[in-house]
């Protein structure tokens, strides 16, 4: 077997209601064969996915239909979910108003919209390698 066959696959959940942003993240990750991406379009679907499967990283938009990203994260952190300690990156257009220290350890990083490939990839790779 070659070395690539032994490469760890990371399961990543993307909860983002904007299809353009979904496409952007997919494009950013297109060269990352070690990442298996699951995409959901609203907070309720994000919660169902996170309760049904274990992920190595979860990417949440803040403002989503049905349930906000922060509410989903709080719920997962407070329960016995298999993702209670999974690292979380939050996307927001209001990143300048978000102080990560005030999130009480609920999220590991905040990325501003619009996303840039360099910042996005370096952030998620650093978190996944911490694993």
Q: What is the pLDDT of residues 73-102, one digit of tens each?
A: 999 999 889 999 999 998 877 755 555 555
Q: What is the pLDDT of residues 21-66, one digit of tens each?
A: 999 999 999 999 999 999 999 999 999 999 999 999 999 988 888 8
Number of separate domains in the chain: 1
**31 or 8, which is more confident:** 31
CATH number of the domain bearing residue 43 = 3.40.50.2300
Is the confidence at residue 2, as pLDDT, over 50? no
Is the confidence at residue 112, as pLDDT, over 60? yes
Report if residue 41 sits inside a domain.
yes
Q: What is the pLDDT of residue 1?
A: 40
Q: Which domain holds residue 66?
A: 7-130
Report if residue 1 sits inside a domain.
no
Cα–Cα distance for residue pair 41/63, rounded to 1 Å: 11
Residues sharing a CB contact under 8 Å with residue 97, sequence separation 6 or more, in sequence order? none
Report if residue 19 sits inside a domain.
yes
Cα–Cα distance for residue pair 78/76, rounded to 1 Å: 6
Are residues 109 and 127 in contact, defined by beta-carbon separation less than 8 angstroms? yes
Is the confidence at residue 3, as pLDDT, over 90? no
Lowest mean pLDDT, pick from 3-7, 46-50, 109-113, 119-123: 3-7
Q: How many CB atoms lie within 10 A of CB 125?
A: 14
Report if residue 2 sits inside a domain.
no
What's this model's pTM, rounded to 2 decimal places?
A: 0.88
Report if residue 59 sits inside a domain.
yes
Report if residue 47 sits inside a domain.
yes
């Amino acid at each position: 077997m070659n070395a690539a066959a032994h490469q760890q696959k990371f399961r990543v959940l993307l909860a983002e209601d904007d299809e353009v942003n979904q496409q952007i993240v997919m494009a950013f990750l297109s060269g990352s064969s070690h990442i298996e991406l699951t995409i959901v379009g609203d907070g309720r679907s994000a919660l169902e996915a996170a309760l049904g499967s274990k992920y190595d990283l979860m990417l949440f938009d803040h403002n989503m239909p049905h349930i906000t990203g922060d509410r989903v994260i709080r719920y997962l952190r407070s329960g016995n979910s298999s993702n209670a300690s999974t690292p979380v990156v939050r996307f927001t257009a209001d990143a300048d108003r978000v102080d990560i220290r005030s999130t009480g350890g609920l999220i590991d990083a905040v990325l501003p919209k619009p996303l840039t490939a360099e910042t996005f990839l370096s952030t998620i790779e650093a978190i996944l390698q911490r694993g």
